[in-house]
Chain A
Amino acid sequence: MEQDMQDFAVEARRFLDAHVAKALDRTAFTWGEGDDSMAYFSSLPPEEEHEHVQRARAWQRIRHENGFGWITGPAEYGGRGLTPVHDLLYDAVESEYDVADTGVLSVIGLGMIGPTILAHAQPHIKDRWLPAMYRGDAIACQLFSEPGAGSDLASVATRAVREGEDWVLNGQKVWTSVAQHSQIGLALTRTNPDAPKHRGMTAFLVPMDTPGVEVRPLRQMTGGADFNEVFLTDVRIPDDHRLGEVDGGWTVALTTLMNERATVGSEGVGPVAAALSPDHLSALMRATWTWDDRALRARLAELLVDVLATEHLNARALHKLRAGVAPGPEMSVSKLMYGQNLTRAAHFVSDVLGPRIIADTGQWGTYAWTELLLATPALRILGGTEEIMKNILAERVLGLPKEPVTAAAREVRP
Chain B
Amino acid sequence: MTADESELRELRASVREFLDSKSPEEAVRKLMESEPRFDPAVWAQAADQLRLPGLAIPEEYGGDGFGLVELGVVLEEMGRALFCAPFFATVLLAAQALLASGDKEACARLLPGIASGRTTATLAVAEDHGSWDPAMVLARAVPDSDGGWTVRGRKCFVVDGTTADVILLVARTVAGPTLFAVQRDAVGLSAEPMETLDATRAMARLTLDAVPATLVGAQGAGGRIMATVLDIASVGLAAEQAGGARRCLETSADYARVRHQFGRPIGSFQAVKHKCAEMLAQVELAEASSREAARLADEDSPDFPVAAAVAHACCSRAYMVAAMENIQVHGGIGFTWEHPAHLYFRRAKSSQLLFGGPAVYHERLLDRLGI
Contact = CB atoms under 8 A, between A and B. Distances in A.
A278 B369 contact: yes
A391 interface: yes
B309 to A, nearest CB: 8
18 contacts: A278-B371, A282-B369, A297-B363, A298-B362, A300-B371, A304-B369, A308-B289, A309-B286, A310-B285, A316-B291, A390-B277, A391-B273, A394-B277, A399-B253, A401-B265, A401-B267, A403-B269, A403-B270
A297 B285 contact: no
Interface of B: 5, 249, 253, 256-257, 264-265, 267-270, 272-274, 276-278, 280-281, 284-286, 288-289, 291-293, 306-307, 310, 313-314, 317, 358-359, 362-363, 365-366, 369-371
B292 A333 contact: no
A329 interface: yes
- Minimum-distance CB pairs A-B, first 3: A301-B362, A400-B267, A390-B277
Contact of B288 (A282, A309, A402): A309
B281 A393 contact: yes
Contacts of B362: 297-298, 301-302, 305
Contacts of B366: 297, 300-301, 304
B317 A316 contact: no
A312 B307 contact: yes
A97 B210 CA distance: 64
A315 interface: yes
A330 interface: yes
B276 to A, nearest CB: 5
B280 to A, nearest CB: 6
A391 B270 CA distance: 7
B281 A333 contact: yes
Nearest to B256: A400
Interface string A8-44: 0000000000000000000000000000000000000
A313 interface: yes
Contact of B313 (A300, A301, A330, A404): A301
Given A304-B366, A312-B307, A329-B280, 18 more contacts: A301-B313, A304-B369, A306-B314, A308-B306, A312-B310, A313-B285, A316-B292, A330-B284, A330-B288, A391-B273, A394-B280, A398-B249, A398-B277, A400-B257, A400-B268, A400-B276, A403-B268, A404-B264
A267 interface: no
Of the candidates A298, A333, A390, A400, the one having the most CB atoms from chain B within 10 angstroms of its own CB is A400
Contacts of A394: 267, 273-274, 276-277, 280
Contacts of A330: 284, 288
Contacts of A304: 310, 365-366, 369
Interface residues of A, number: 38
A400 B366 CA distance: 39
Interface in A272-307: 278, 282, 297-298, 300-302, 304-306
A403 B269 CA distance: 6
A387 interface: yes
B363 A301 contact: yes
A315 B292 contact: yes
Of the candidates A302, A308, A315, A402, the one having the most CB atoms from chain B within 10 angstroms of its own CB is A308
A403 B365 CA distance: 42
A329 B288 CA distance: 12
Given A278-B369, A404-B268, A329 B276 contact: no
A52 to B, nearest CB: 34
A395 interface: yes
B273 A312 contact: no
Contacts of B285: 306, 309-310, 312-313, 333, 337
Contacts of A313: 284-285, 288-289
B280 A312 contact: no
